[in-house]
A and B are shown apart, each in its own frame.
Chain A
């Protein structure tokens, strides 16, 4: 068992990947809606809403929409407020779950996301670091993950009860 990837005591999660593209282009892919709509969502998700004011103090509101699945269409709205921008090296911003009006959803975590772009061996290394502002926030995200599991359990129970009563 390894527990090395997240730095749990610092409430920090880090992921990185090296891209075979110039740093300016990779930076643009993170800072322009015309690029982001092609890749920001998870696999098979779209980005139907992307409103960005790319400057310090400006914000980016986006909506990720999942494919039409069993549970209907899933949407997830996010909002970044840029704290620091250094072209083409670094973007620091607050990161929140919001509603469709851009209001922060209550009982969701405050995150601080830093994306760093580095030239390494002719490629661009992108490192994303997400820090949960308060430890309770991370606990909450973990419990959100657990709630999902609980839902699945309830689904099974429901199916079981239907079967029993038929």
Chain B
């Protein structure tokens, strides 16, 4: 029986740059192995090997039509990774927003202070 794919497995699967390339291409829609091979500068057995890894973690599904095999993306499997990245970016964006406002406040205060000093002189 096939082992259940874990997040760690999905993570490993997308850690390989060529496989991320395949995922990006499949994000545009279903592709045959031939289409993928043509667009990536890889040999067909390599493409098939990558597709096998992606299929094992259920990132892609396959449809047979005659002699052709068509692959498509299961984007939901990427969601945990996407969510984490989004939350990390979200936290830092909030921090940076607050820092931006704070720096503006600080600088406008110091400008006022300087003006004040000038008034006195």
Q: Which residues of A line the B interface, CB within 8 A?
A: 1-3, 5-6, 8-9, 13, 15, 17, 19-21, 25-26, 29, 35, 38-43, 126, 128, 130, 135-136, 138-139, 141-143, 145-146, 149
Contact = CB atoms under 8 A, between A and B. Distances in A.
B77 to A, nearest CB: 12
A130 B75 CA distance: 26
B95 A5 contact: no
B95 A40 contact: yes
A66 to B, nearest CB: 12
Interface in B75-121: 75, 78, 80-81, 83-85, 87-89, 91-104, 106-107
Contacts, number: 94
Contacts of A43: 94, 97-98
Given A15-B93, A141-B84, A142-B11, 17 more contacts: A2-B24, A5-B85, A8-B11, A8-B20, A8-B81, A13-B85, A17-B96, A19-B99, A20-B100, A20-B104, A35-B102, A39-B101, A41-B98, A42-B95, A142-B80, A145-B84, A149-B80
A139 B8 contact: yes
Contacts of B16: 9
Interface of B, secondary structure class, is: helix
A162 to B, nearest CB: 27
A67 B55 CA distance: 43
A5 B93 CA distance: 13
Interface of A, secondary structure class, is: mixed
B48 interface: no
B102 to A, nearest CB: 5
Nearest to A45: B94
A30 to B, nearest CB: 9
B93 A142 contact: no
Contacts of B102: 29, 35, 38-39
Nearest to B16: A9
B83 A145 contact: yes
13 contacts: A1-B23, A1-B27, A3-B14, A8-B14, A8-B20, A19-B100, A29-B102, A39-B98, A43-B98, A142-B11, A143-B7, A145-B87, A146-B7
Given A1-B75, A39-B99, A13 B11 contact: no
Contact of A1 (B24, B83, B85): B24
Given A15-B89, A19-B103, A146-B80, A139 B7 contact: yes
Interface string B6-26: 011001001111001001100
A141 to B, nearest CB: 6
A21 B14 contact: no
B30 to A, nearest CB: 15
